[in-house]
Amino acid sequence: MNLAQMAWRNVWRRKRRTLITAFSIGFGVLLAATFTGMAVYMYGNMIDASAATGFGHVTIEPAGYNRTPTLDKRLSDSARLRQEVLVEPGVKAAMVRIMGQAMFASAAKSVGGMFLAIDPQQESAEYNLLIRSMVKGRVFPNRTGTGIVVGRKLADKLNLRIGKKLVYTTTDTNGEIVSEIARVSGMFATGVSEIDTGMVLLPIDRVRKVLAYAPDEATLLATMLLDQRKSDKLRQRLEDRVGGAGREVLSWRQTQADLAGMITIDGSSNYISQFLVALLIAAGVLNTLLMSVLERSREFGVMMAIGMSSRRLFRLVMVESIWLALIGLTIGIALTAPVYWYLDIYGLDFSSMLGGEDYSVSGVLVDPVMRIRLHAESITTILSIVFGLALLSGIYPAWRAGHIPPIESLRTI
Amino acid sequence: MTTQIHTNNPDVQDIVRLESVSKIYQQGQLEVRAVDNISLEIDTGDFCALCGPSGSGKTTVLNMIGGLDVPSSGRVWLENRDLASLSRSDVAQIRRDRIGFVFQAYNLIPVMTAYENAEFVLKLQGVAEKECHERVMRVLQEVGLEGLEHRRPDEMSGGQQQRVAIARAMVTCPAIVLADEPTANVDSHTADALLDLMQKLNREEGVTFLFSTHDQRVMDRARRLIRLHDGRIESDEASH
């Protein structure tokens, strides 16, 4: 019989204790996978929603625009830059945009806010949260018209309906105050109060004319990726290719610093909680293995007496901890799979708990239906950490098994 | 592949030699001399018993000969090797290759069958599978356990378990078998059968047996009786 077989049989000598310990490991896997997966889903969702609000996952901007977003800073040659970006692997879309501050006035009153000037041919519901959230009317059909899409709450404030006019006033590149009339073609309701009360969509060429921009000028090129986790890598690649010459290439971490900070803090506290749970589980595994070793002191004494080395005994107990870890991981996967399936397909709907229409955190849209998303590397990390902790827990009992002098073990009855 | 340690020197007459061996235990402030300045030799082929009342030092002497305990003073030689000069792993190797142990109780590994318990030490030695099988089956037959190879200890009687322990002790062809109260936990009929077996092995295989015992049946069969009292040799004589 080899060590692995012997260890396997030893693990099952106390079935109930082994199963209890294995289930605790399994629940550890379930907790880690569920918390991590739900956090990954929520963060990814928020990052994608924030990216779809204006800046994208990666943004090319005029130098200094992120610190002071004034309309005198602009990118030239935006069409060519867009083509350069679109050939990068992993890029889903790239949109040339102008973003700036303006006053919006109707016959009723005036309100300050932001405009996002777009080319409707480049945009879609998938990449633009405002377009995705349309509730009335439609987006203007081209870049040159006089259409405007407003947030529903802004429309309520200014007493606007589809077809009614409003005036927007801003500052052009020469520092002059300029105004333009636009006719409401559509309304959106994102659920984020700051966006619904303060943002509008405008045709980009009409805005260029108002601001005295050249035909190819813009304030930002927003890039949407297939996988937002690759933002930093793409940022670096674009920085190397098109950076400099008065341009900055920024990831969402820089353009959405508040969101990045919130994710970092929330993620850290999530990991701390999981670490504490893991410690508890490791303590349970240590207790089980130590009890098992102490119960078998006499048996180990006999084994050493007949010639088994302490090193081999150490390996025997370590293999037992490996088996225990593997059984625990198997139970963990079996417990996690149906939970993952349910959360992936149906999720947990917190709409009623959130109440009202505003499903946002720090101005970023939050999906009220909590789902789960686990990437391959997360699964590998979770399983590796749980396995590693179980093994670490076995080291002291294994050392203890091999280091009690046989004469003392043999005295144990 | 591990290496067996064995001596085939025909000039080795004394399997075991103790030179002025003492073992002192500290019990709080008190010093207990479990073994007090013992010198003795065990010859090849001996069938001898260490006897005496409880606390006389029998088991302590046996443990020191088996390398399980270290004397406080004096030397223990096994086949002309001073055990004190060897490392822990070398001593473990000697126990594996040259000594067979039979204990009073809890001899066997509970998760292993009779066959697996008997082959355990051969596996530690790295003996090939085929040779393992031949030797184990032969020795199980010798101890009268043919047909019971697949039983686990909890499926065997006390006497059968001791037979497996003897088989395990014998399968490596050791220089000496150290048996600590081997008949203590079995009935008299089984004890007689076990002693018959060990005598047969001693007679036919030439294996040296050293018992630690206060069982009169063992003493009656031993050819040499070494009586201990308070850690000293009281007498050392051939019994018949």
Contact B72, B1 (CB under 8 A): no
Nearest-Cα distance to chain A for B225, in Å, is: 25
ipTM: 0.86
Least trusted range by pLDDT, from A54-63, A304-313, A399-408, B79-88: A399-408
Q: How confident is the model at residue A355 (pLDDT cuts 50, 70, 90)?
A: low
How confident is the model at residue B1, as a pLDDT? 34
Nearest-Cα distance to chain A for B233, in Å, is: 22
How confident is the model at residue B158, as a pLDDT? 87
Where exactly are the structural domains of chain B?
Answer: 14-105+174-238
Q: Decide if pLDDT at A105 tops 80.
A: yes
Taking CA–CA distances from B88, the nearest residue in chain A reads A309
The CA distance from A354 to B17, in Å, is: 86
Say if the Cβ atoms of B111 and A410 lie within 8 Å: no
The CA distance from B216 to B166, in Å, is: 20
Which of B109, B119, B169 faces A299 most closely, judged by CB atoms? B109
Centre a 10 Å sphere on the Cβ of residue A380 and count the other Cβ atoms it contains: 10
What does the pLDDT look like over A159-202, one tens digit per residue? 999 999 999 999 988 889 999 999 999 999 988 888 999 999 99
- CB contact, 8 Å: A298 with chain B? yes
The CA distance from A27 to B59, in Å, is: 49
Q: Decide if pLDDT at B4 tops 50.
A: no
The CA distance from A242 to A240, in Å, is: 6
**Which SS3 state, helix, strand or coil, does residue B32 take?**
strand
How confident is the model at residue A234, as a pLDDT? 92
Which strand (E) or helix (H) includes residue A318? helix A310-345
How confident is the model at residue A301, as a pLDDT? 87
What does the pLDDT look like over B123-152, one tens digit per residue? 999 999 999 999 999 999 988 898 999 999
Give the mean model confidence (pLDDT) for residues A73-101.
Answer: 92
Q: Decide if pLDDT at A209 tops 80.
A: yes
| CATH T-level topology, domain B14-105+174-238 | Rossmann fold (3.40.50)
Taking CA–CA distances from A313, the nearest residue in chain B reads B124
Q: How confident is the model at residue B193 (pLDDT cuts 50, 70, 90)?
A: confident
% pLDDT > 70, chain B: 94
Say if the Cβ atoms of B109 and A303 lie within 8 Å: yes
The CA distance from A368 to A371, in Å, is: 9
* Average confidence score pLDDT of chain A: 90
pTM score, two decimals? 0.82
Residue B5 or residue A182, greater confidence: A182
The backbone torsions φ and ψ at residue A107, rounded to the nearest 5 degrees and listed phi first, read -65, -30
Give the mean model confidence (pLDDT) for residues B179-204.
Answer: 87
